[in-house]
Amino acid sequence: MIKLKYFVEYHVYGVCTQLGEKFGISTASIRLYFVYLSFITVGSPVIIYLILAFWMNIRRYLRQQNNPSVWEI
């Protein structure tokens, strides 16, 4: 069950988790502030979240393409 929890948190909440790890802030507090900001600003942080999620996936893809250990001969 814990493995499932970490899998879901990594793939669904990856943006908040990565921001929390980078800045040393609790992931739960980042998610809580994200929800508060979404209510106050009528959803504009959702657009920022989607842009960040897209950017993270692009960076992950580029790292995999540049890593010679994953290339097949």
Tokens of 14: 């990856």
Which residues in the chain show pLDDT less than 70?
8-13, 67-73
What does the pLDDT read at residue 70?
54
pTM beyond 0.75, yes or no: no
What does the pLDDT read at residue 2?
78
Classified as helix, coil or strand, 43 is coil
What does the pLDDT read at residue 10?
64
Length of the chain: 73
What does the pLDDT read at residue 67?
66
Burial class (CB in 10 A: 0-12, 13-18, 19+), 20: middle
What does the pLDDT read at residue 1?
76
Burial class (CB in 10 A: 0-12, 13-18, 19+), 64: exposed
Classified as helix, coil or strand, 9 is helix
